[in-house]
Copies of this chain bind each other. A is one copy, B any other.
Amino acid sequence: MGNTRDEKRAALRSRLIEAAEDQIARHGIGGLKARAVTTQAGCALGALYTAFEDLDMLILHVNARTLERLGSALKSALGEGQGTPAQALQAMARAYVDFACANRALWIALFEHRLPEGVETPDWHKQDHAVLIEVLIGPLSQLRPDLAQEALVLRARTTFAAVHGVVLLALQGRFVGVPMAQLHAEVAALVETMTRGSERGQAETAR
C-alpha cells in the first residue's frame, strides 16, 4: 500500500513538472499560472501544493531538468572538443549558444526565477547549477596552471558569466546586444580573445 501511494505521488509530481515545463516553454516564466499547470496535469489545484509546497518549488524542479539537459550538452561538447583547451572552450560556448537558442524560455527561466524575499535556494538546487562552472575547470586549469584551485573556480565563474552576458543581451533583443545573426561568431571571437589573453597571462606570470 505504502508503495503504491509513493508511486502515485511520484507520478503526480512528474506530470506537474512536465506540465509546468511545457507552460514555461510556451509562455515564459512570467506567465506561469498554477491553474494552467494543474489543468494540463489533470489534477486539482490543491494537489500542486501537496506535491510541491508551492509554485516556486515546482519551478525549481523544472529548472533542475533544464540544467540537467544543459549540463549534458556541455559535457558532450567538452568530450568532443578534445585537443587544446581552446577547442574545448569553443565547443562548450557553441553548445551553450545552441542550447539557449533552442530552449529560449526555459533557459531564461534559469536566470530570471527569483524566490520570494528571505527564501534561500535549497542546497540540492544550487548543486544543479554547479555543472555550468565545473565543465570549465579542466580547460581553464590547462590554460592557467599557475592559478590555485580557488582562483580557478572564480575565473571559471567569470568566464561563464562573460559568455552568458553576450548570449543574454542578444536573446533578449536588447538594443546594445549583438544581433542574433552574429551571435555565434561574436561568442567565438570572445572565447578566442579570452583564451589568447589567458595563455599570454600565463606566459607573463611564468617569465
A→B interface (CB under 8 Å): 111, 121, 126, 129-130, 132-133, 154-155, 157-166, 168-170, 172, 174-178, 182, 186-187, 189-190, 192-198, 200-201
Contact of A163 among B130, B155, B160, B165 (CB under 8 A): B165
Asked if residues B163 and A162 are in contact (CB atoms below 8 Å), the reply is yes
B176 touches A161 (CB 8 A): yes
Contacts of A186 in B (CB 8 A): 154-155, 157-158
The answer to whether B175 touches A121 (Cβ under 8 A) is yes
* Distance in angstroms between the alpha carbons of A130 and B201 in the assembled complex: 32
CA distance A198 to B192 in the complex (A): 9
A200 with B189: CB separation less than 8 A: no
A182 to B, closest residue via Cβ: B154
The answer to whether A166 touches B175, judged by C-beta atoms less than 8 angstroms apart, is no
Pick from B121, B159, B169, B195: contact of A161, CB under 8 Å: B169
Give complex CA distance A197, B201 in Å: 9
15 new A-B contacts, CB < 8 A, other than A157-B169, A200-B200, are A111-B169, A111-B172, A111-B174, A129-B175, A129-B176, A133-B176, A154-B178, A158-B166, A158-B178, A161-B169, A163-B165, A190-B194, A196-B196, A197-B197, A197-B200
Q: Which residue of B lies closest to A164 (CB)?
A: B165
Closest 6 CB pairs of A and B: A165-B165, A197-B197, A193-B197, A162-B162, A196-B197, A161-B166
CB-defined contacts of A157 to chain B, threshold 8 Å: 169, 176-178, 186
Sample (29) of A-B pairs whose CB atoms are under 8 Å apart: A126-B175, A129-B174, A129-B175, A130-B175, A133-B176, A154-B178, A154-B182, A154-B186, A155-B189, A157-B176, A157-B178, A157-B186, A158-B178, A158-B190, A161-B165, A161-B166, A161-B168, A161-B169, A161-B177, A164-B169, A165-B165, A192-B197, A192-B201, A193-B197, A193-B198, A194-B194, A197-B197, A197-B198, A197-B200
| Whole-angstrom CA separation of A160 from B182 in the bound complex | 15
Point out the residues of chain B lying under 8 angstroms from A132, CB to CB: 176
